[in-house]
Amino acid sequence: IPPHRYAAMDAAQRLALDVATEMFARHGRPPHSLKGVGTVAVGSNLGLSRERRLHTGLCLDDLEADVRSLAALGRLGPDEVETLTKLVRDRFADPGPVDVPAAWDGSVASGIAALVGNEHRLDAVPVAVEAACASSLAALDVAVGRLRAGAADYAVAGGVELPCNARDMVLCSALGLLSHSRITPFDAAADGFTPGDGCALFLLKRLADARRDGDPVFGVLRAVGASNDAKSLIAPDADGQARAVRQAFAQVDFGPDDVDYLEAHGTGTRLGDRVEVAAVAQVYGTGRRGAPLHIGSAKSFLGHTFAAAGAAGLLRTLQALRQTTLPPSVNLSELSPDLALDAVPARVATQALPWPAGPDRPRRAAVSAFGTGGINYHLLIEEGTDATR
């Protein structure tokens, strides 16, 4: 990629491209060695193309209007509003030379997926997926569907997120979703999340094909369950989340008692955490025997990475399976009394613990991600066998 084009790309495109390059390096084979037709499905905030429009100076008037409305919401004085508006115009009024291909790539929804596929010379269909904070798991759902249908021989799927714009942060704050200090999932003092950024991508194949090709198998995706609360755009619903969990288990030959660890959505909002644990109790708390279900959240380390949140949780879970270690959550001082953990029973680990295998089954885990609008995803993951790990 010419340096001038790389510099002109949307930051999310650069991040996804870099992560995809690292992913193929970890795979141990060049991407052009992949056989057949593929799919590249990337979950992202489709509004990221706004950055590209800003850097080409195409929406200054809209941005200035946003600044004025947000400033009014923050009760800023006229002089402060004018200062903010001038800063915005000075920053973006002269975007400099515009790289037309890069600007175009950044203005279409599928630009990130297309860039990953094209620059790695993949014969792959690029797909953009937007499902709010569940976007990355929705992208995996698309990839799995094409693999199962025989429409693809391999897939690259995951999510990418960079810091949201100021308007989104102000709206999150107005809704009481942002923490005043730090994100503390499942804690009695939890008061919201802190925003994060990142990217995680995965190379998927049908298990038989991966074994045939001698690929390293870091985990086996056994099921993808999805549902919608259909009640509120922002208020979670335990029954709706539980439907996604049940749908996932309807696809496999094992039950909730055979899952050791749940990588929860765990946003650190009191309502969100309470509802999520209540949904877990509906399914995982039915006749659970033996060891409690261990629950954790990558957000305690990373913050809320929005469109990439599910992928971040999946990456952490795969690493935990490979290292046979139950991962901890941090920033937990006192468990919230609102959580029905005893009804599962479940435990939130505050330090890494050994993850023993069952006497007659592999280690298994689940990953959840929920998005604004009521969309819920629940994945069931199994470790690879010794022959394929």
Q: Is 118 helix (H, G, I), strand (E, B) or coil?
A: helix
CA distance 191 to 195: 13
Q: What angle do CA 145, 228, 195 make, to 5 degrees?
A: 90
Q: Which of 319, 333, 298, 304 is nearest to 363 (CA)?
A: 319
Q: Is 266 helix (H, G, I), strand (E, B) or coil?
A: coil
Question: Which one from 55, 120, 265, 378 is the annotated catalytic residue?
Answer: 265
Q: Which amino acid is at 116?
A: V
Q: Are 19 and 201 in contact (CB under 8 A)?
A: yes
Count the Cβ atoms, other than its own, within 10 Å of residue 98. 13
Q: Are 142 and 41 in contact (CB under 8 A)?
A: yes
Q: Is 133 marked active-site? A: yes
Q: How many angstroms from the chain centroid is the CA of residue 48? A: 16
Q: Is 265 marked active-site? A: yes
Which helix (DSSP H) or strand (DSSP E) does residue 302 occupy? helix 299-302
Question: Which one from 120, 133, 172, 294 is the annotated catalytic residue?
Answer: 133
- Following DSSP, what letter does each residue of 290-314 receive, concatenated? SSPEEEE-THHHH-B-GGGHHHHHH
CA distance 45 to 22: 22
Q: How many angstroms from the chain centroid is the CA of residue 89? A: 33
Residue with structure tokens 């005043």?
180
Question: Which one from 55, 120, 294, 304 is the annotated catalytic residue?
Answer: 304
**17 token code pair:** 């491209």
* Catalytic (active-site) positions: 133, 265, 304
